[in-house]
């Protein structure tokens, strides 16, 4: 019988997490080697599934002692490539066994969960008590708390992002296992006399934002505390069509000026995208209002509609548009969204730009993609849209649906993807994810001073550079 | 050529987004994959991870091994993942990322490469020898029917009893026969009934499954309607046989469809009172696996029984939580199947039910095993048992 040759740390990791929860089988490693995107995989050396903060600490200490790179793993719904780690050697730390809601503190309006819980599950448990937290709208069902706070700048944009901006505003604190194995509680948890993590600003400088969008390079998040709000039971919305992008933008901007925002979501779709959804080929604007009573929704809706009218928009009554609005209001499974949402493999490219540059960003990025697809003679379905995030920021999104069995397409998509973010970053428009390939592009455009600052922090936190090394350029 | 090669398009279409693991709808979720919940939980134990492994094999990055073969057994092929994914082929409208089919293709490869786990080998050898997966003598298939005066003649309506009802859940077979007789339905059975082939297909023994299928179709020729008790049998007839190139010369219906139709026509009227709070467990094979899931008829039949207080439990119909027994799991991962069925007991208890009713003998077996393992007080029935009682037979 052939003796199985295990990873050099197999026995130590098995002693920490239990042998059941450690694997170096090739097929297990392979399944952890890619995210949802088209990028080539990185196969690490071993996977461990710890069940507690203590186990995470021990794994990190072991990695430090042996100079072995650690790749934290959450819901695995990234889109721009998995961390490089150290192929054949690195430890993937799958955090999805840390999946408990630890507290729902209704008096202090905050809830704490372990970092490996899926946001959807966390939010559902809060919903059972009438509460909610701001989490990313998608992939709400597969992202974990830790994954989202690490890989999405600002902690992502949620279902009410147009009104409230980025989720970071609602993260009270985090418990992080630092790369040396020590534990840091950010937020008011820094005060030994407090056991409620109720606001991040007090008890010393707020280190919470430093770990949000760090791409997992500064430590492993094991817990996070969010500020809760009473869930909005009513969500209603509508659509409007405009003759030109300029008209639509006028409406979009006039609504962004209102504070507090009467809407939860504002989004715009190009004629191209509307055609893909089987709707009239027009510039289309969609909005959703969320609230506690019909009266509140009626008032908010009236306000939005007045702005639409002033900008020359026509209220949309196309069933396809209304179906899309409904989807934004109540949520729908992919199966229920219809054909346009389900052609299979897609490459999603998203950048964030300031409101004043939305038109330029939309035109530049959409035409770049169109041109490159045409040049390569790649017939692909596309979908392009933008969503307001807070009043002065907008996400421009582009989906390209492609055939992954065709090598030519895969190569083409990778090239377009690279150029897309390069062009965006050169304009100052940033990817809305901090994942392998977007981090690389972002780091390329840092000033030397910013690079040095980052390098200093990274060195101080992670002297042996074991925590997700190589995520930010050569850091 | 690998069987998996036939599914290249499907495998490469998977986005690996993970919606197959958590239900996404209406701002609430629940977990979807029972195996993921009760296994060690590494990626290959969830649908997305299995698709990734399939892709690794097709790309030549991975090879089938005994260790991988063992992990591939951990899928009840319940289709919960497919239901949540929802990605459909734009031209055919069929599910594009059909994880159970891909899993079964990989199992077929494993069998063809001589890497089948012992449990799989045992199933094949028992069925090949005895025409049933329980290693029972084939000549004793009709032992349960002694005294029931069954017709072995070529009737227009044939009751295809199935191995589980013949050998393990004889009460279902007996009650079904008694119901049909009570309702005055002229029917027969085929003396040389063989396993429908479903357990073979689920565990990768495609050639042997085809042998079973061809024999059964030949034996059933002349029938207009074939009724099954078993959800697995009806899936085999309706879906698997045509995929093996056999057009059915008869209409295959599940007992709940048949009895539901009679009730609609006013020919079936449950009379005896059964004072019980019951809930219904949807078998995957007559639910998600069907083009139009059989969800309404069983519920309508149950609700028609006087005294029944019907309770709907968590995760039903197309979102039903599998009992855990399907896909060859009962033989390859027996402990996990009982753990999964225990979840169903919890759901039934939360719904305040005294009894859990299903319409599949294999579901009944597995849920009963969970009751025994946990000491639960929950009663477990097949729908035919309650109907028989209410019809006074």
Check which CATH number belongs to the domain holding A395 and give it.
3.40.462.10
pLDDT at A340: 52
User: What confidence tens digit (pLDDT) does each residue in A397-427 have?
Assistant: 998 888 888 888 889 999 999 999 999 999 9
User: What confidence tens digit (pLDDT) does each residue in B56-67 have?
Assistant: 999 999 999 999
Express as a percent the part of chain B with pLDDT over 70: 99
Read off the tokens for B359.
């319409």
| Total domains in the fold of chain A | 4
Looking at the fold, whether B315 and B222 belong to one and the same domain comes out as no
Looking at the fold, whether A423 and A359 belong to one and the same domain comes out as yes
Looking at the fold, whether B15 and B85 belong to one and the same domain comes out as yes
Looking at the fold, whether A36 and A107 belong to one and the same domain comes out as no
Residues 6+ apart with CB under 8 A from A175: A53, A183, A184, A185, A186, A189, A221, A222, A223, A224
Pairing of strands A346-354, A430-431: antiparallel
Pairing of strands B355-358, B379-382: parallel
- Across A224-248, average pLDDT: 94
pLDDT at B353: 98
Tokens 């969800």 correspond to what residue?
Answer: B295
CA distances from B296 to A307, B80, B300, B317, B318 (A): 48, 19, 6, 9, 11
pLDDT at A204: 85
Looking at the fold, whether B259 and B185 belong to one and the same domain comes out as yes
Give the closest residue to A138 by CA, choosing from A350, A358, A418.
Answer: A350
Looking at the fold, whether B203 and B89 belong to one and the same domain comes out as no
Inter-chain residue contact A27 with B16, CB threshold 8 Å: no
Read off the tokens for B5.
């090669």
In a domain, A397, yes or no: yes
The yes-or-no verdict on residue A287 having pLDDT over 90 is yes
The yes-or-no verdict on residue A1 having pLDDT over 60 is no
In a domain, A444, yes or no: no
In a domain, B269, yes or no: no
In a domain, A86, yes or no: yes
pLDDT at A338: 57
Q: Does A405 touch chain B (CB under 8 A)?
A: yes
Residues 6+ apart with CB under 8 A from B367: B281, B323, B341, B344, B345, B356, B358, B380
Give the closest residue to B73 by CA, choosing from B64, B82, B60.
Answer: B64
CA distance B199 to B126: 11
The yes-or-no verdict on residue A12 having pLDDT over 70 is yes
| Total domains in the fold of chain B | 3
Between A201 and B281, the higher pLDDT residue: B281
Give the closest residue to A240 by CA, choosing from A263, A214, A216.
Answer: A263
In a domain, B363, yes or no: yes
Looking at the fold, whether A299 and A420 belong to one and the same domain comes out as no
Inter-chain residue contact A31 with B25, CB threshold 8 Å: no
Q: pTM, whole model, 2 decimals?
A: 0.95
CA distance B38 to B339: 7
Looking at the fold, whether B290 and B351 belong to one and the same domain comes out as yes
pLDDT at B253: 98
CA distance A169 to A206: 12
- Across B105-112, average pLDDT: 98
Please check whether residue B235 is in contact with residue B248, taking contact to mean a CB–CB distance below 8 angstroms. no
Check which CATH number belongs to the domain holding B327 and give it.
3.40.50
The yes-or-no verdict on residue B92 having pLDDT over 90 is no
Looking at the fold, whether B134 and B248 belong to one and the same domain comes out as yes
Chain B positions in Cβ-Cβ contact with residue A97 (cut-off 8 Å):
41
Q: Does B6 touch chain A (CB under 8 A)?
A: no
In a domain, B270, yes or no: no
What count of Cα atoms within 13 Å lies in the side-chain half-sphere of residue B81? 29
Inter-chain residue contact A27 with B12, CB threshold 8 Å: no
What phi and psi, each to the nearest 5 degrees, are found at residue B51?
Answer: -65, -35
Mean pLDDT of all residues in chain A? Answer: 91
Of B84, B116, B148, which residue is a domain's last? B116
In a domain, B224, yes or no: yes
pLDDT at B291: 87
Question: Among the listed ranges A24-33, A262-271, A304-313, B12-21, which one has the minimum average pLDDT value?
Answer: B12-21
Looking at the fold, whether A357 and A416 belong to one and the same domain comes out as yes
The yes-or-no verdict on residue A379 having pLDDT over 80 is no
Q: Does A76 touch chain B (CB under 8 A)?
A: yes
Looking at the fold, whether A116 and A205 belong to one and the same domain comes out as yes
Looking at the fold, whether A21 and A133 belong to one and the same domain comes out as no
Looking at the fold, whether A120 and A214 belong to one and the same domain comes out as yes
Q: Does A2 touch chain B (CB under 8 A)?
A: no
pLDDT at B234: 98
Looking at the fold, whether A147 and A225 belong to one and the same domain comes out as yes
pLDDT at A345: 79
pLDDT at A25: 98
Give the closest residue to B170 by CA, choosing from B331, B337, B387, B384.
Answer: B384
In a domain, A451, yes or no: no
Question: Among the listed ranges A212-221, A325-334, B267-276, which one has the minimum average pLDDT value?
Answer: A325-334
End-to-end CA distance of chain A: 44
CA distances from A265 to A268, A287, A470, B375 (A): 10, 5, 36, 51
pLDDT-derived band of residue A59, with 50, 70 and 90 as boundaries? Answer: very high
What count of Cα atoms within 13 Å lies in the side-chain half-sphere of residue A171? 35
Q: Does A47 touch chain B (CB under 8 A)?
A: yes
- Across B338-351, average pLDDT: 98
Of A94, A121, A151, which residue is a domain's last? A94
Read off the tokens for B200.
């073979």
Range of the domain at B367: 276-390
User: What confidence tens digit (pLDDT) does each residue in A332-358 have?
Assistant: 555 555 555 555 678 899 999 999 999
Check which CATH number belongs to the domain holding B28 and give it.
1.10.1060
Looking at the fold, whether B334 and B288 belong to one and the same domain comes out as yes
pLDDT at A304: 95
pLDDT at A343: 56
Express as a percent the part of chain B with pLDDT over 90: 91
Looking at the fold, whether A323 and A302 belong to one and the same domain comes out as yes
Chain A positions in Cβ-Cβ contact with residue B28 (cut-off 8 Å):
120, 124, 127
Inter-chain residue contact B19 with A124, CB threshold 8 Å: no
CA distance A143 to B113: 37
Between B307 and A342, the higher pLDDT residue: B307
Of A47, A76, A337, the CB nearest to B18: A76
Looking at the fold, whether B180 and B79 belong to one and the same domain comes out as no
In a domain, A454, yes or no: no
The yes-or-no verdict on residue B223 having pLDDT over 90 is yes
pLDDT at B29: 79
Residues 6+ apart with CB under 8 A from B85: A334, A335, B19, B20, B47, B95, B97, B99
pLDDT at A275: 84
Looking at the fold, whether B90 and B129 belong to one and the same domain comes out as no
- Across B214-243, average pLDDT: 97
In a domain, B349, yes or no: yes
Looking at the fold, whether A85 and A197 belong to one and the same domain comes out as no
Looking at the fold, whether A366 and A396 belong to one and the same domain comes out as yes
Looking at the fold, whether B109 and B144 belong to one and the same domain comes out as no
Strand pairing partners for A411? Answer: none
Of B264, B286, B319, which residue is a domain's last? B264
Inter-chain residue contact B19 with A342, CB threshold 8 Å: no
B-contacting residues of A 317-356, CB under 8 Å? 330-337, 339, 342-346
Chain B positions in Cβ-Cβ contact with residue A123 (cut-off 8 Å):
27, 29
Of A94, A118, A137, which residue is a domain's last? A94
Closest residue in chain B to residue A18, using alpha carbons only: B40
Looking at the fold, whether B358 and B252 belong to one and the same domain comes out as no
In a domain, A423, yes or no: yes
Strand pairing partners for A388? Answer: A394
Range of the domain at A45: 10-94
pLDDT at A2: 61
Of A94, A112, A144, which residue is a domain's last? A94
Read off the tokens for A137.
């709208």
In a domain, A424, yes or no: yes
Looking at the fold, whether A353 and A404 belong to one and the same domain comes out as yes
Looking at the fold, whether B106 and B232 belong to one and the same domain comes out as no
**Mutation for testing the B interface, residue in A32, A344, A410 having most B CBs under 10 Å:** A344
A-contacting residues of B 96-155, CB under 8 Å? 96-97
User: What confidence tens digit (pLDDT) does each residue in B250-304 have?
Assistant: 999 999 999 999 999 999 999 999 999 999 999 999 999 998 999 999 999 999 9
CA distance A383 to A79: 16
- Across B94-123, average pLDDT: 95
Check which CATH number belongs to the domain holding A334 and give it.
3.30.70.3450
User: What confidence tens digit (pLDDT) does each residue in A107-162 have?
Assistant: 999 999 999 999 989 999 999 999 999 987 766 778 999 999 999 999 999 889 99
In a domain, B66, yes or no: yes
CA distance A59 to B286: 46
Check which CATH number belongs to the domain holding A157 and give it.
3.30.465.10
In a domain, A298, yes or no: yes
Of B237, B264, B291, which residue is a domain's last? B264
């Amino acid at each position: 019988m052939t003796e199985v040759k295990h990873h050099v740390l197999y026995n130590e990791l098995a002693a920490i997490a239990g042998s059941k929860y450690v694997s170096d089988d090739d097929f297990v490693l392979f399944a952890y080697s890619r995210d949802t995107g088209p990028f080539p995989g990185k196969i690490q050396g071993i996977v461990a599934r710890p069940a507690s903060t203590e186990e995470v600490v021990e794994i990190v200490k072991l990695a430090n002692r042996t100079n072995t790179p650690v790749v934290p793993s959450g819901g695995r719904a990234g889109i721009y490539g998995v961390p490089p780690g150290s192929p054949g050697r690195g430890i993937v730390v799958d955090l999805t066994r840390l999946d408990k809601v630890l507290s729902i503190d209704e008096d202090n309006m905050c809830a704490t969960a372990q970092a490996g819980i899926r946001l959807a599950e966390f939010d559902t448990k809060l919903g059972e008590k009438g509460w909610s937290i701001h989490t990313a709208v998608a992939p709400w069902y597969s992202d974990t708390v830790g994954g989202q706070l690490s890989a999405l700048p600002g902690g992502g944009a949620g279902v009410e992002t147009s009104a409230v901006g980025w989720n970071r505003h609602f993260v009270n604190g985090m418990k992080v296992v630092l790369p040396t194995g020590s534990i840091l509680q950010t937020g008011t948890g820094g005060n030994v006399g407090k056991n409620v993590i109720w606001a991040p600003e007090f008890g010393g400088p707020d280190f919470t934002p430093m770990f949000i969008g760090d791409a997992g390079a500064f430590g492993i998040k094991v817990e996070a505390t969010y500020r809760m709000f009473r869930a909005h039971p009513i969500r209603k919305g509508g659509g409007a069509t405009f003759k030109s992008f300029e008209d639509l933008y006028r409406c979009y901007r006039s609504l962004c000026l209102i504070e507090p925002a009467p809407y939860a979501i504002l989004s715009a779709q190009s004629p191209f995208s509307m055609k893909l959804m089987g709707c009239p080929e027009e510039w289309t604007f969609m909005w959703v209002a969320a609230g506690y009573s019909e009266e509140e929704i009626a008032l908010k809706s009236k306000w939005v509609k007045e702005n639409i009218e002033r900008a020359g928009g026509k209220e949309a009554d196309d069933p396809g548009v209304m179906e899309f609005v409904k989807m934004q209001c109540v949520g729908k499974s992919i199966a229920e969204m219809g054909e346009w949402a389900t052609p299979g493999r897609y490459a999603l490219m998203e950048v964030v730009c300031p409101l004043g540059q939305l038109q330029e960003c939309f035109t530049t990025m959409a035409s770049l993609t169109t041109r490159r697809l045409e040049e390569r003679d790649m017939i692909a379905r596309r979908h392009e849209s933008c969503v307001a995030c807070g009043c002065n920021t907008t996400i421009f999104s582009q989906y390209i649906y492609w055939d992954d069995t065709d090598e030519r397409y895969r190569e083409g998509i990778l090239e377009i993807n690279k150029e897309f973010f390069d062009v965006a970053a050169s304009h100052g428009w940033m990817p809305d994810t901090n994942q392998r390939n977007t981090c690389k592009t972002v780091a390329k455009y840092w000033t030397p001073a910013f690079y040095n600052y980052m390098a200093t922090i990274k060195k101080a936190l992670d002297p042996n550079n074991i925590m997700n090394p190589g995520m930010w350029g050569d850091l | 050529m690998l069987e998996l090669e036939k599914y290249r398009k499907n495998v490469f279409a998977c986005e690996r987004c993970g919606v197959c693991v958590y239900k996404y709808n209406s701002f609430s979720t629940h977990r979807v994959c029972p195996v993921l919940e009760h296994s060690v939980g590494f990626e290959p134990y969830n649908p997305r991870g299995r698709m990734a492994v399939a892709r690794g094999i097709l790309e030549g990055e991975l090879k089938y091994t005994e260790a991988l073969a063992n992990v591939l057994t951990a899928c009840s092929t319940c289709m919960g993942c497919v239901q949540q994914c929802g990605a459909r082929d734009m031209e055919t409208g069929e599910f594009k990322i059909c994880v159970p089919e891909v899993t079964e293709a990989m199992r077929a490869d494993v069998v063809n490469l001589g890497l089948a786990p012992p449990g799989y080998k045992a199933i094949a050898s028992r069925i090949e020898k005895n025409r049933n997966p329980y290693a029972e003598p084939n000549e004793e298939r009709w032992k349960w029917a002694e005294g029931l005066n069954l017709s072995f003649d070529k009737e227009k309506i044939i009751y295809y009893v199935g191995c589980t009802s013949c050998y393990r859940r004889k009460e279902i077979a007996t009650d079904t026969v008694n119901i049909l007789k009570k309702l005055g339905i002229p029917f027969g059975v085929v003396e040389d009934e063989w396993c429908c082939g479903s357990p073979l297909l689920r565990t990768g023994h495609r050639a042997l499954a085809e042998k079973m299928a061809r024999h059964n179709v030949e034996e059933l020729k002349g029938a207009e309607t074939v009724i099954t008790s078993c959800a697995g049998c009806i899936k085999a007839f309706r879906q698997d046989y045509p995929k093996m190139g056999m057009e059915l010369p008869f209409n295959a219906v599940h007992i709940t469809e048949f009895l539901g139709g009679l009730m609609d026509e006013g020919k079936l009227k449950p009379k005896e009172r059964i004072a019980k709070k019951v809930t219904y467990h949807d078998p995957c094979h007559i639910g998600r696996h069907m083009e139009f899931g059989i969800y309404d008829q069983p519920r309508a039949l149950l609700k028609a029984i006087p005294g029944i207080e019907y309770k709907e439990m968590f995760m039903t119909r197309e979102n039903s939580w599998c009992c855990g027994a399907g896909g060859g799991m009962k033989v390859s991962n027996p402990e996990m199947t009982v753990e999964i069925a225990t979840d169903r007991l919890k759901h039934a208890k939360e719904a305040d039910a005294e009894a859990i009713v299903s319409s599949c003998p294999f579901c009944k077996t597995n849920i009963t095993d969970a009751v025994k393992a946990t000491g639960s007080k929950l009663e477990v029935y097949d729908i035919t048992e309650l109907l028989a009682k209410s019809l006074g037979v």
